[in-house]
Amino acid sequence: MKLTLVATCMFGLEKLLGEEIDALGLRRIETMDGRVTFEGEESDIPRANICLRCAERVFVHLGSFEAKSFDALFEGTKALPWEEWIARNDAFPVKGHSIRSGLTSIPDCQSIVKKAVVDRLRDTYGISWFEETGVKYQIEFFIFKDIAHLMIDTSGVALHKRGYRTEAGAAPLRETLAAAVALTARPREDILFWDPFCGAGTIAIEAAQIVVNRAPGLGRTFVAEQFHRVPSAFWKEAREAAEAALKTDCRFEVYASDIDEDILDITYENALRGGVEEYINIFHADARAIKKLDRKGTVVCNPPYGERMGEIREVEQLYRDLGRNWKQLAPWQIYVLTSHDRFDRLYGRPADKTKKLYNGMLPCFLYEFFKPMDEKKNSPRADTVSNRAPRSTKPWKKN
């Protein structure tokens, strides 16, 4: 049976998410800020949840209608076929958002949607009381410009929580954003991928999973595994297909380094849980002093942002130091994610491209440096080029 599905994402990731949906062979219907609507079937619910790297959640879209009043919201909600999903004992809590619409009270909208669903199910099942002790069907409404969209969440825990990162550093980067940054840098087997501010290793792990084609949802479960309309056979088939797509003879190599030596044990444990530790070379290093190797490479990182005035001054000096010291990395490509809107000025080189993204609610910018610099002015000195990988005696170092 054809379904309308919605994948939500952080602002700025819609294009990448749409391309992922295309790669699954599914047809896109509409793209708007923070969400992509597409067509699928029940069997595509497991595929989307397991395989989409940039999505936050996957919803079944039950219907849309104009809702300029609470009465319209009630009648439109009640007209939808909730009984096709929700059984008489199932739980169906309600939450949602309203943007640029006349209905602004979220608690009132929640109450009205809940009452409308109860009325519909009461008429269908002929009962007046719902125990709600069964499977949880989280209902979500999204009212935008007075059009209400009613959906059921199939993911449960947000999809950025892959399951491999049980510990993180002081300023964790959401996994979906890390995947988007890595995808933008186009990681591939013949090019070294280096994150010199690796922290808990999120960017490095996501990059490795991309290249070896490890589906981001292989290590976790989803709420829709309990839905009667999505049988366990669909989940089994989707997981088996994802496992069969894994590359087992990949020669991709990632360097994950950080000045904080204590975080690197966490980096290794996360990489191990993420199933990609064999591709990641973890070591202690100051990002301001890294040396170019005699091979093709790409630097992708999320350096400190700084929040208080003293920290901001230190961070801005760090950016200047990186600009001076990373000249010798040419012609490597460099991708830097930071919330600082003047990073490239401090870095001393205009970005070839800048994308505005969000880490949760925090606006940030991906500065991309991929065009060749003036070789005469920026060519590295011979003594800065090395053929040797950095060395470490820590147990997480891959030999």
pLDDT in tens, 207-225: 999 999 999 999 999 999 9
Fold of 175-214+247-386: Rossmann fold (3.40.50)
Tokens 């609470």 belong to 70
Q: How many CA atoms lie within 13 A of 182 on its CB side?
A: 29
- Residue spans of beta strands (DSSP E) within the chain: 3-8, 27-32, 35-40, 57-66, 94-99, 139-144, 147-153, 192-195, 254-258, 280-284, 292-293, 297-301, 333-338, 353-359, 362-369, 385-386
pLDDT at 165: 92
**Do the beta carbons of residue 140 and residue 151 sit within 8 Å?**
yes
SS3 397: coil
Cα separation, 96 vs 138, in Å, equals: 10
Average pLDDT over residues 44-64: 98
Express as a percent the part of the chain with pLDDT over 90.
87
3-153 CATH fold = VC0802-like (3.30.2130)
Q: Could you give the dihedral angle defined by the CA atoms of residues 127, 133, 138 and 143, in that order, rounded to the nearest 10 degrees?
A: 40
Rounded-to-integer distance, Cα 399 and Cα 395, Å: 10
Q: pTM here?
A: 0.91
pLDDT band at residue 397 using 50, 70 and 90 as cut-offs: low
- Start-end of H helices in 212-289: 232-244, 264-273
**3-153 and 175-214+247-386 agree in CATH topology:** no
Per-residue pLDDT at 240 exceeds 90? yes
Q: What is the mean pLDDT of residues 78-100?
A: 97
Listed in sequence order, the residues at least 6 apart from 183 whose beta carbon sits closer than 8 Å to its beta carbon are 16, 53, 54, 210
**3-class DSSP assignment, residue 349:** coil
Mean pLDDT of 20-42: 97
Site of tokens 């996360």: 270
Tens of pLDDT, residue by residue over 380-395, are 443 444 445 555 434 5
What does the pLDDT look like over 102-151, one tens digit per residue?
999 999 999 999 999 999 999 999 998 999 999 999 999 999 999 999 99
For the chain, give every domain's residue range. Answer: 3-153, 175-214+247-386
Residue 87 to residue 132: CA distance in whole angstroms: 9
User: CA-to-CA distance for 90 and 292, rounded, in angstroms?
Assistant: 58
